Structure 1
Amino acid sequence: MTKQNSTNKKSSKDTIDTIYKLLNSNAFLAKEENTVFSNLGVRAAYYFISWMVLGYGIQVGNGFFVAMLLFISSLLMDYLKTNSAQSQHQKLIKTERFICTVFFLWSCLGLIGIFEIIEVKNVLTVAISSKFIAFNSIQYSLECVWYFLALPTGLTIIDWLITQPAFEESIRSISQKQSTRKGD
């Protein structure tokens, strides 16, 4: 009976290990092919244009937080699904994930009403809601928030500039093989 319990424990552990390996494999990933629109340069241009549009027509209320959540969540999803074998690029991706997560959480706080957009002396200002229990006197210019949102946008441009396209890797690999053959 002890042997059977030991066998059952071992088979359940094997089953759990198999499930764990399956979940951590690429089995659930969609087989996608890149197109010209999945190019990092296209993404950088798209986010730059989106950032510019985000700063247009802002009004009192929470509409800015809705737009910011849509803007930052798509960027965050891009970076959550991206990994790189290059250590410098991976550091940039992790930095971008962190920054986007902060903005994502901040925009969620705006959506639930903790932050609000008010007008003070004809200047749009972010303030902590008077309905919130603490920090009601904190206010800052919405323009500053918009400028801070340039940071993740700028990092997409840096990402595009420092990432080595696949065709460059192929050319470098071919060149290295040819130089090695000449040296033989």
Structure 2
Amino acid sequence: MTDAVVFEVSRGRALLTGLVLGPLMTGGSVLILTAAVNPAAVEWLAPGSALTWLLYVVIGGVGTAFFGFATVGWLTLLRKPGPRLVVDAEGFTDTSSGVASGRTTWDQVTGWHLQHVQRQVNLCVTVQDPDSVLARMGPVKRLLSRANVKLVGTPVCIGLTNLRGGPEPVLAAFEQYHRQWSSRNSPR
């Protein structure tokens, strides 16, 4: 990869997510699950009906597993050295999250758009064959990426909020390198 643009993770923001928000969400989920399993331990949150109890068990169990897994994954990702997004003349490599798509070449890319979800900004890259992207992922990553396909139309979603510099330099690099690739590979 010659002449690549490299994007690092902003450690401060990532640490806030991994060390504060993740444990808070996990703790809240554990609290809800505890209220269902042992209502006397958390009297003020005790479920009042069988339906509420069932909701507590489902929400608490799924939330504990999801947020616990996400927190551990986020902190593990922070420990890995190197860039999280590399954009070059042949494509880009995304390792910015636990569901990152890895290497995608420009010949696979049909377009991209920004997707704002609450205060998170994602670059959603539309690819010719989403199934081939999904096929190279592990089972958990594939499941979460299938949800991205349903939500935004593509399994390739790059979280830009935690990257240094924000969305603008990433978009500029995508536009520059994709335009260069297109001009080199367009039929004459």
Q: Structure 2-normalised TM-score?
A: 0.32
Q: Quick check: which one's strand share is greater?
A: 2
**Greater percentage in helix:** 1
* Bigger radius of gyration among the two: 1
